[in-house]
Structure 1
Amino acid sequence: MILGAAAVPGPAAAAAVASGTPGPYTFADGAQSIEGARSTGDAALLKLGETYKSSLPSSGKVNYRLDLDAATNAYVSATAVPSPDSTVSVIDGVKVTVQDAEGNTCSVDNTSFGVARSPHPIAAWGMREISPSKALCRKAGAYYVSVERVDPDGEGSSPDAWDLELVAMTEPRTAKTGPTSAPEVWNSATPQPLQGDAERREGGAGFTRATPLDQGVWQDDIRPGQTLFYEVPVDWGQQISVTAELGSTETDGPGYTSDALDLALYNPARGEVADVGVGYNGGQKSGSLPPLPPVDHANRYAATAQVSALRFAGSYYLVAHLSEGVADTFGDGPFRMTLRVRVSGQPQGGPEYAGESDPEGVFEVSDQDREAAAEGVAAGDDTAMRALAVGGIGTGSALLVGLGVWTVVARRGTAA
């Protein structure tokens, strides 16, 4: 991937620095600045496999262009980042629509902030699928991605522009015709939360800064208004289940915050799969994601968006946000958060793709991904990698570990 100059901090980042609150989001290194157009006729091109930084105005659509062939599936995700000091309504959020050159709608998706009304990074995705069940959006040519606020005029939403991160990627067609309907039978029983002693892992501040996790019990500290990112490798045939817990506080006094802790699961294309909100009254509270089916290529034919989103192997993202309203009653924290992550089932063979994804390797789980999850080495964290390579191990072993970790970074750097 050809990387442009790093984008300058937007209004959300500047507001965070000025207020001293945790930064809301770290954009991908080398994200190229791009301006959304009011008209599709002026829409700038989003190159497949690359990441961009843009801005979302308070009202109206901004448009971008994709140039696609007639064989591959394409996905685009928009992560909206409001300023920490802005206000948002219950139903406000970000909406992504993909249309072809003839105005046919290929997909529509939106994500909202929820009842906590706490501004934080949220993502919605769009897609152009080559599918036997879809007669439209199959031609090669120009496609247009529009991004807009869900409820720009809603009561309680401030008119500030939001920062926006855009990433476009492709999934190759399969070499052989597979199932054209989603699996009907899977273990839908509510899984028991994983038990055991917790290990500390500090979350990152963006999708490309997500901290790798594997199956286990993980703890971190989170402050009101903060959003933390983690990634879990989930292979074909595997099921992921997560329970989030918020520890008790010593602060006295009655009070309750609805959806104080929001935990969302996103797929490798940054499409939301499911989420859970945990209310908080100062005592320990927990909530679990709903039961989810195993990752399967045929899930894309499911009628429900939740199942359809589980269509790829790869890194699934856990995004945890603690509502800024928690501070009003229970103080600035930090608060202890526990994530109980279970990945059940043995990895299975996936579809035989006729080509490579762009970025390469984004829809697969490699040995390097599993090693990174076991060690908790964040992508692009040079300091952690060097410490891992030299801390308490021999020179020969350090060299082998260093080479393995650098392989992870090289692959993920391309994906970022």
Structure 2
Amino acid sequence: MVVRLGVVAVVLGTTAAVVPGQAALAAGTAVSPGPYAFADGARSIEGARSTADAVPLTPGTAYKSSLPSSGKVIYSLQLDATSNAYVSVTAVPSPGSTVSVIDGLRVSVQDNDGTPCSSDTANFGAARSPHPIAAWGRREISPTKPLCREAGTYYVSVERVDPKGEGSSPDAWDLELFATTEPRTAKTGPTSAPEVWNSASPQPLQGKAERRPGGAGFAGATPMDQGVWRDDIRPGQTLFYEVPVDWGQQLQVTAELASSASGGTGYTTDALDLDLYNPARGRVADVGVGYNGDQKSGSLPPLPPVDHANRHSAIGQVGAMRFAGSYYLVAHLSESVADSFGDGPFDVILRVRVSGAAQGGPEYVGESQPKGVFEVSDQDREAAAEGVAGGDDTAMRVVAVGGIGTGSALLVGLGMWTVLARRRSAA
């Protein structure tokens, strides 16, 4: 009998086994930055050049595709006349590729008559360090948005922003696509965003930092709750975390990059980039931290409490705080840090504050796809407290390789399996 738990297999009659990468983490040895971890079971599809050949995306299903260096690729969505729909596209440049300052990803949504519904762009920034970036497309049903309200076929267009920019590699990029739908509310709510909220920047959370290793993709993001968390990051590496934020709660995050022990000199612009994405993987805000070898820090801009009415704001980062659920923190350390300060690893500290009491959210008519994506469950809070991810490369990394007998390994494994099963059920 074999019980498979993420990266761990507990085998009756043998000792628990951990894959080599996780064993290295447990032993504290160096692990090279790995590529982006796509969702388990992501379906491989090919983007079309024409809407006539566009492959349909099913909300709640992860897809893997690719984006050529020039031209658009197109996918389709079948939508009703009442639900909001969101499509997040994560672009993953090839290892060793180069990008220009303004190169990036553009995602737009149109109806079957070519009417634009939304457009969003994500860039790599001044550090010019290739790493996973995400942009999202939206079809929203709202009294203030008269377009794109009919049921029918919608098209998702994905393209590079500056494929011929100076220093940009012509390589194709891998893509991960993930669509979600949000049902309508039972009652018509406000048609404007809240005008008053606490926009003061609170003092960053204090206390001793606890280790919490990050994941390698959205699907494998490591859960964390309010606290002070510490992790190792290497130049070129990107780490993913998720923080449950309920209706009425306010998120504040400060990132610190510790001083270098190498004795090197120099300066890297936006050496540490921290991005915040909402439960639909739509970008909310970011902060870049320059680095000269001394400890440096930066905070995300003040964000409003999570409120359904935030979507009516003309300010993008306010509008993105529109639903409860898991908010993603994505930390990237620029490749160029290695030029001056070596390969590391470097210590990064995240001071995460979730303030305010959880409130009741809107009454939805029907279920979101995937189910539960726009809510915070008891299982989500438990996972955030324990730091157990949902069955990917970050899960079970606290289980040691040696010194665990069969019985102990099985008991630990079954306990962790219970947490994972609850999270998957909620999702």
Same-fold status (TM-score > 0.5): yes
Q: Which residue of 2 aligns with 1:349?
A: 360
The CA distance in 2 between the partners of 1:281 and 1:52, in whole Å, is 39
Counterpart residue number, 1:10 = none
Alpha-carbon distance, 1:24 to partner: 2.6
1:104-148 per-position Cα deviation (integer Å, ceiling 9, x unaligned): 000000000000000000000001000100111000000000000
**Distance (whole Å) between structure 2 residues aligned to residue 314 and residue 43 of structure 1:** 30
Distance 2:204 2:95 in 1: 32
Match of 1:223 in 2: 234
1:406 is aligned to 2:421: yes
User: Partners of 1:307 and 1:354 in 2: how far apart?
Assistant: 24
1:301 to partner: Cα distance? 0.1
The amino acid across from 1:92 in the alignment is D
Q: How does 1:29-108 map to 2 (within 5 A)?
A: 29-108=40-119
Q: 1:267 pairs with 273, 278, 286, which one?
A: 278
Query: In the superposition, relative to structure 1, how do residues 391 and 297 fare at CA in structure 2: closer, same or farther (>3 Å)?
Result: farther
* Amino acid in structure 1 at the alignment position of 2:383: A
CA distance in 2, matches of 1:385, 1:128: 39
Offset, 1:408: 1.2
AA partner of residue 189 (structure 1): A
Cα 1:391/1:341, change in 2 over 3 Å: farther
**AA partner of residue 264 (structure 1):** D
TM superposition shift of 1:405: 3.9
Normalised to the residue count of structure 1, the TM-score between the two structures is: 0.90
Distance 1:133 1:168 in 2: 23
Contact 2:40 2:392 in 1 (8 A): no
Secondary structure of residue in 2 paired with 1:207: coil
Does the 8 Å contact 2:32/2:234 carry over to 1? Answer: no
1:12: which partner in 2?
none
Q: CA deviation at 1:381?
A: 4.6
1:404 and 1:328, CA in 2 relative to 1: closer, same or farther beyond 3 A? Answer: closer
| Counterparts of 2:380 and 2:275, CA distance in 1 | 21
Deviation of the 1:406 alpha carbon: 1.9
Q: Which runs of 5+ in 2 are unaligned?
A: 1-30
Cα deviation code 1:79-116 (max 9, x no counterpart) = 00001200000111110000000110000000000000
Count of residue pairs brought into register by the alignment: 392
- Give the CA deviation at 1:409: 3.1
Contact 1:24–1:121 (CA under 8 A) maintained in structure 2: no
> Hey, what does 2:33 align to over in structure 1?
22
* Map 1:5-404 → 2, pairs under 5 A: 21-381=32-392, 384=396, 402-404=417-419
Taking structure 1 as reference, are residues 253 and 332 closer, same or farther at Cα in structure 2, changes over 3 Å only? closer
What is the SS of the residue equivalent to 1:208?
Answer: coil
User: Are residues 392 and 190 of structure 1, via their aligned partners in 2, closer, same or farther at CA, if it must alter by over 3 Å?
Assistant: farther
1:337 deviates by 0.5
Q: How far does residue 378 in structure 1 lie from its aligned partner after superposition?
A: 1.1
The CA RMSD measured in Å over matched residues stands at 2.2
Q: Alignment partner of 2:422: what SS?
A: helix
SS at match of 2:219: helix
Q: Which runs of 5+ in 1 are unaligned?
A: 1-19
Contact 2:82–2:183 (Cα < 8 Å) also in 1? yes
- Percent pairwise identity: 74
Instruction: Please report the TM-score for the alignment, with normalisation by the length of structure 2.
Output: 0.88
Q: What amino acid sits opposite 2:176 in the alignment?
A: E
Letter in structure 1 aligned against 2:59: L
* Conserved? CA contact 2:310–2:321, under 8 Å: yes
1:221-268 per-position Cα deviation (integer Å, ceiling 9, x unaligned): 000000000000000000101000011112224300000000000000
